[in-house]
Amino acid sequence: MKNILVINSGSSSLKFQLISMPSEEVLASGLVERIGLDTGKVHYKSGSFSTSEEMPVKDHSVALKEVTKHLMDPEKGVIKDPAEIAAIGHRVVHGGATFSDTIVIDEKVKGKIKELFSLAPLHNPPNLKGIEVAEEIFPQAKQVGVFDTAFHQSIPSRANRYAIPNELFDKEQIQVYGFHGTSHKYVSEKANELLGDDNTKLVTVHLGNGCSITAVENGKSVDHSLGFGPVNGLIMGTRSGDIDQSVIFYMIEHLGYTAKEVSDLLHHKSGMLGLTGYSDLRDIEEQAEMGNRQCQLALEMNAYRIKKYIGGYAAAMNGLDAVVFTAGIGENSDVIRRMVCKNMDYLGLKLDEQKNSVRSKENRKINKEGASVKIFVIPTNEELEIAKQTFDMLA
């Protein structure tokens, strides 16, 4: 038996699980959320014990040190010595054209991850920070990188190429890479288990602070909303999603923005934050309920963008067996699910309002009985998927 610590550093959160492999027993788990805010929260669970603390969490380094403190706590911890952890599996968002498989991390790998900062400025920096802090705290553990881009290697050329000069693809590898691949892979496999068939046409909808949507046909990713970098597609917490390129040119040529300033705006100041002043959907839903028109419109825009992608992917696959909602918002926001599925009868989506309103951590079906297209809520478990791939690297 080997203890695998899985670290999943998101743009504003850090999820972790300590998993005994190959039994897949979760020894401890938790979440540090709202990183960068004074209202950060640290959640920790081990067996029947659980705790939640509110505290300022300045950055991902502070978050990981808090996680380690809990794991090694004399009373509530589950390990006494860092040497009890055999390997640490790190979620890394962008592998570029270099990393298409899970890999043991060394200085060369870290250098390449750093080179890719410009392609995933919200994620690769905290991913690398998590690796560096883990190396410091657990020097004896093997550090393993699992890349979000790997699942999307199956996207065919007709979908992963941009209509720009070929030399930019041939020499610079500018193409669709895709992200959240570990999550989309996990939930699509679970959906196929629920459907009792691997030969399916699915649309998996990953909604968190970062959002993406994937067309999955017969277990393979065949199209995806995020592309060369993680800012395209759906409207996100602070990222714009799809935008007319002319807007960028206009901002630079006529409004005096630099390219760096535009990039910062599209990554950090747009999306739901730019529309409402809030980046957390829970705050936006609360404000919308109170009559805040900006928040109401932002929710409508968010759902409308998702609906368009579902329709487009159903057309691309010439069919649709199920839509899967996952990740923090997808799993917990009955509001977004309801708005997305409203008036989608033409595609066969018929939401059961009562089932949709139930909070649960279980895989569940929320469509009306007899609906031709199933609607699933499947909690993602990127950590288990990462643990499996990390454990394989110890062989």
**74 & 211 share domain:** no
d(CA 17, CA 5): 6
Residue 158 resides in a domain: no
d(CA 34, CA 41): 7
pTM of the complete model: 0.83
- Which of 195, 209, 230, 216 has the alpha carbon at shortest distance from 372? 195
The predicted pLDDT at position 18 comes to: 97
The predicted pLDDT at position 36 comes to: 86
* CA distances, 38 to each of 33, 51, 56 (Å): 11, 19, 4
**230 & 373 share domain:** yes
Confidence of residue 322 (pLDDT cuts 50, 70, 90): very high
Amino acid (1-letter code) at residue 103: I
- Which of 171, 204, 174, 210 has the alpha carbon at shortest distance from 189? 204
**340 & 212 share domain:** yes
d(CA 203, CA 180): 14
Confidence of residue 393 (pLDDT cuts 50, 70, 90): very high
**215 & 316 share domain:** yes
Structural domain harbouring 99: 2-147
Catalytic annotation, residues: 148
**203 & 344 share domain:** yes
Confidence of residue 98 (pLDDT cuts 50, 70, 90): confident
Instruction: Look at residue 305 and tell me whether its pLDDT is greater than 90.
Output: yes
Q: How many domains does the chain have?
A: 2
Instruction: Look at residue 152 and tell me whether its pLDDT is greater than 80.
Output: yes
**12 & 143 share domain:** yes
The mean pLDDT of 342-363, rounded to a whole number, is 95
State the chain's mean pLDDT as an integer. 93
**Residue 47 CA to its chain's centroid (Å):** 26
Residue 389 resides in a domain: no
Is-contact 285 296, C-beta < 8 A?
no
The mean pLDDT of 214-238, rounded to a whole number, is 95
**329 & 202 share domain:** yes
Residue 187 resides in a domain: no
Confidence of residue 163 (pLDDT cuts 50, 70, 90): very high
- Which of 207, 221, 121, 144 has the alpha carbon at shortest distance from 177? 221
**237 & 308 share domain:** yes
Tokens, residue 9? 């550093």
For the ranges 42-51, 56-65, 115-124, which has the lowest average pLDDT? 115-124
- Please say which residue of 119, 147, 175 terminates a domain: 147
Residue 180 resides in a domain: no
The predicted pLDDT at position 133 comes to: 86
Instruction: Look at residue 122 and tell me whether its pLDDT is greater than 80.
Output: no
- Please say which residue of 113, 130, 147 terminates a domain: 147
What is the sign, positive or negative, of the torsion defined by CA atoms of 187, 191, 193, 198? negative
3-class secondary structure, 362 = coil
**84 & 230 share domain:** no
What is the sign, positive or negative, of the torsion defined by CA atoms of 313, 315, 316, 317? positive
3-class secondary structure, 228 = coil
Residue 285 resides in a domain: yes
- Please say which residue of 115, 147, 179 terminates a domain: 147
- Which of 179, 228, 231 has the alpha carbon at shortest distance from 206? 179
Residue 165 resides in a domain: no
* Cβ-defined contacts of 356-361 (< 8 Å, 24+): 359/332, 361/331
Find all residues with CB under 8 Å of 37, minimum gap 6, and list them. 56, 57
3-class secondary structure, 33 = strand
Instruction: Look at residue 320 and tell me whether its pLDDT is greater than 90.
Output: yes
The predicted pLDDT at position 81 comes to: 87
For the ranges 24-33, 52-61, 83-92, 161-170, which has the lowest average pLDDT? 52-61
Tokens, residue 17? 């699980």
* CA distances, 10 to each of 88, 283, 293, 390 (Å): 16, 19, 29, 19
d(CA 113, CA 67): 23
Residues 4/5/9/13 CA torsion (nearest 10 deg) = 130
Domain with residue 244: its CATH number is 3.30.420.40
d(CA 187, CA 205): 10
**201 & 60 share domain:** no
The mean pLDDT of 114-139, rounded to a whole number, is 86
**90 & 207 share domain:** no
Bridge-partner residues for 9, per DSSP?
Answer: 14
Each residue of 170-187: pLDDT tens digit?
988 899 999 899 899 999
Residue 313 resides in a domain: yes
Tokens, residue 132? 């560096």
Higher pLDDT, 205 or 134: 205
**123 & 201 share domain:** no
